[in-house]
Structure 1
Amino acid sequence: MNTQKITFRNIAWDNAGIIYFPTDFDQNKKYPTIITMHPIGSCKEQTAGTIYGKALAESGFVVLAFDASFQGESGGTPRYIENPYQRTDDVRYAIDYLETLTYVDADKIGILGVCGGGAYSLNIAMTERRIKAVVSITGVNFGRLLRDGFAGGSPMEVLNQIAAQRSAEAKGGDLLTINMLPESVAAGKAAGIEDIDILEATDYYKTSRGQTVGGATSAVYSRMSIGIGWDAFYLAETLLTQPILVVIGDKPGGFGAFRDGYEIVRRAASDKKELLVVKGYSHYDLYDQPEPVRQALESAVPFFKENLG
């Protein structure tokens, strides 16, 4: 498959991306184009690019997979900031860039996100009307996840700890970067972790299955307060009107994609909204396992073809 590494300008830095081209690509034609957003702690070389991006290009779309600001090969410091507002705003700059490419049909731009990227995709579509269709693959509302305890405690406990850490850093203290996962599945089990999502995330990110240099699964602790106050689905009843396809597995885990999937389909104002529940599979099965990915794509490809023209 033909690909091209590119960069596009953000506020004050460059974002890095990979464009995947259809097999019969002709630069003199215009193509419906899909942006793919990677999960939290991930990068463009993992599921959003090499699994879904590649498959969508093989189905005739131009695809742009890119690294979020502060992550992967994109710019921005300090590294490993997970800021939902910046993560979604990155998409606006990606679309600005795509509109400069003669082979991109600017009236036929869609977006697909995985995990946190799935909920980010739904959120940015509310205010970015250049997006015409959205697919969320096992999407997780990052703000809800943090408030539910993933940040290490109750919201107010964590916010107070973050405030103290940021004050310490402002006075010259060392930056605290945390790893969001145990070092191995065995270490997680030894620590008493039983949740399927955390253990399967560790298997994906900490082994040869999905491990890459850019997928650090790390976050700057003092910058996490903004996520606690964010909600991917806020105003969905009013502003989310594009066609949406939400894909989830029916084996729920602690990250909450199962519940978030049902919630956003219920709440979205979209006239066209579909929920695909892939039976017998989990959140991380939908990252790269052949059968659930096949089922997701068998719905996503015709969905994009119908709604992007």
Structure 2
Amino acid sequence: MKHVTFKNRLWDVAADIRLPKDFDERRKYPAIICAHPISSCKEQTSGAIYAEQLTAQGFITLAFDASTQGASGGEPRYSEDPSVRVEDFRCAVDYLVTLPWVDEERIGVLGVCGGGGYAVNAAMTERRIKAVGTVVAANYGRIMRAGDMSADAALNTLEAIGRQRTAEARGADPLLVTYIPNSQAEREQAGVADVDVVEAVDYYKTPRGQQPGSPNRLRFTSVAPALGWDAFHLAERLLTQPLHIVIGGGTPGAFGSFRDGFELFDRARSADKTLQVVEGATHYDLYDQPGPVAAALERLVPFFRKHL
């Protein structure tokens, strides 16, 4: 593994590139861009799990930190702006096509959770991506619009963002909020028992998955663009690349990757598309648990070999 950077606009995006065993720089290899979930970083599931195992199967992989997050540059920090996140993918392709040992006609993408939604969206307008794989892909725009599930959740959030922007314009400090509770005790105190939230805390806030590049911080005002964004918008017209979708068949949680998987499958124009349900697996089981991850890769590896 080698630490590299590539440009998005004026800043550096930090990434880890992994080369297959017995790598020969005289050859041309297929490459897969691996995208992390919302609030995550390249040292977690996208890099340490999926990129690592795909590289072991002969693919070059590139796992990157989203702009404004992790080790990547960009301001304002801890933003989650879909347009910037999607541009990261295009810039990742720009970087890969400069490498003489990457076959530019065999570049694919694999996104996990929110990274899966972004991967799908990027592939619609980035034709250099030839195959798309997703693991528990989630539509970040839909999640943010749902909010607390009240009828006017999105409108109420936008009103609050407007007030916060006014305060910051007048000199107030930026408001940084958390994605999830910082501990199970904090979650219990809040009265939240949803399986996705319980397992998110276990993954992100314990030694199981905790990493410095994933500090559970979100710049509140950056939520506004997401509220008007749909990861799957125009999939029925523009998403034509081969597509393999992996979702968990265990208890569905609030983040909605189970329903998003079926929606994406139905909407994608791709002539070659498959939906894999890993029975008994929850959303976070497919981040790092050996059995569910192995089941996902059992289908993802031949999918990428066929199309890359």
TM-score bracket for the superposition, by shorter chain length: over 0.9
**Cross-structure match for 1:264:** 264
CA distance in 1, matches of 2:273, 2:148: 29
CA distance in 1, matches of 2:246, 2:167: 42
User: Relative to structure 2, which stretch is displaced further, 181-190 or 260-269?
Assistant: 181-190
**Cross-structure match for 2:113:** 115
Aligned AA (1:253): G
| Contact persistence 1:155–1:228 (CA under 8 A) | yes
| Contact persistence 1:40–1:217 (CA under 8 A) | no
Aligned AA (2:269): A
Aligned AA (1:200): E
| Contact persistence 1:18–1:44 (CA under 8 A) | yes
CA distance in 1, matches of 2:297, 2:92: 23
| Contact persistence 2:248–2:283 (CA under 8 A) | yes
Structure 1 outlier segments of 4+, above 4 Å: 150-153
Q: Secondary structure at the match of 2:146?
A: helix
Q: Secondary structure at the match of 1:9?
A: strand
| Contact persistence 2:66–2:88 (CA under 8 A) | yes
Q: Secondary structure at the match of 2:281?
A: strand
**Cross-structure match for 2:248:** 249
Q: Supply the RMSD in Å over aligned alpha carbons.
A: 1.1
Aligned AA (1:194): A
> 1:218-258 CA distances to partner (integer Å, 9 max, x unpaired)?
11001111011100010010000000000000121000000
**Normalising by structure 2, what TM-score?**
0.98
CA distance in 2, matches of 1:5, 1:30: 21
Aligned AA (1:71): Q
Aligned AA (1:246): I
Shift of 1:150: 5.7
**Cross-structure match for 1:179:** 178
**Cross-structure match for 2:239:** 240
**Cross-structure match for 1:283:** 283
CA distance in 2, matches of 1:285, 1:77: 33
CA distance in 1, matches of 2:73, 2:229: 23
Shift of 1:186: 2.6
Aligned AA (1:31): Y
**Cross-structure match for 1:210:** 209
> 1:72-128 CA distances to partner (integer Å, 9 max, x unpaired)?
000011210001111011111111111110110000000000000011111111000
Aligned AA (1:247): V
| Contact persistence 1:151–1:158 (CA under 8 A) | no
**Cross-structure match for 1:50:** 48
CA distance in 1, matches of 2:197, 2:148: 10
CA distance in 1, matches of 2:267, 2:216: 30
Aligned AA (1:283): H
Q: Secondary structure at the match of 1:36?
A: strand
**Cross-structure match for 1:23:** 21
**Cross-structure match for 2:298:** 298
**Cross-structure match for 1:105:** 103
CA distance in 2, matches of 1:39, 1:9: 21
Shift of 1:7: 0.5
**Normalising by structure 1, what TM-score?**
0.97
CA distance in 2, matches of 1:221, 1:270: 35
| Contact persistence 2:130–2:307 (CA under 8 A) | yes
Shift of 1:176: 0.3
Return 5+ residue gaps in structure 1 as ranges.
none
Q: Say if 2:86 is the partner of 1:88.
A: yes
Percent identity reads 53
**Cross-structure match for 2:218:** 219
CA distance in 2, matches of 1:92, 1:274: 24
Aligned AA (1:98): L
Shift of 1:191: 1.8
Shift of 1:27: 1.1
CA distance in 2, matches of 1:211, 1:302: 31
**Cross-structure match for 1:166:** 165
Shift of 1:151: 9.6
Aligned AA (1:280): G
Aligned AA (2:70): G
Shift of 1:167: 1.2
Shift of 1:168: 0.8
Aligned AA (1:173): A
